[in-house]
A = this chain, B = another copy of it.
Amino acid sequence: MGKNLVGNHIRKLRFNHDEMTQQQLADKVGVTRQTIVALEKGNYSPSLELAFRIAHTFNLPLEEIFYYGENTKQ
C-alpha cells in the first residue's frame, strides 16, 4: 500500500462550510464521492491538481488543508 505521508483537514472543513456533504464537495472539485471518502480516510494522497481544486473550494492556501509529515494525524 506504500504508506501515505500526507494528511488533510478535509472532513473538518466540510462541516465548517455550510455542512457541505461529501457528494457536494466531490461535485465542486470534479471527482466522485469515493475519492473524497478515500482522502478523508487517508488511504492515499491526491494529485497536486486535485489538492489545488480542493483548496480553492475552501478558499484556503493548500498548505492549510494538506500537510506532510510522520504524524498523519495533526
A interface residues (Cβ-Cβ under 8 A, vs B): 4-6, 45-49, 51-53, 56, 61-63, 66, 68
Distance, CA A46 to CA B51, complexed state (A):
11
Distance, CA A46 to CA B6, complexed state (A):
14
Distance, CA A66 to CA B47, complexed state (A):
12
* Closest-CB distance, A33 to chain B (whole angstroms): 20
Copies in the complex: 2
Q: Which residues of B have CB within 8 Å of A63?
A: 61-63
* Closest-CB distance, A55 to chain B (whole angstroms): 9
* Closest-CB distance, A52 to chain B (whole angstroms): 4
Q: Which residues of B have CB within 8 Å of A49?
A: 4-6, 45, 68
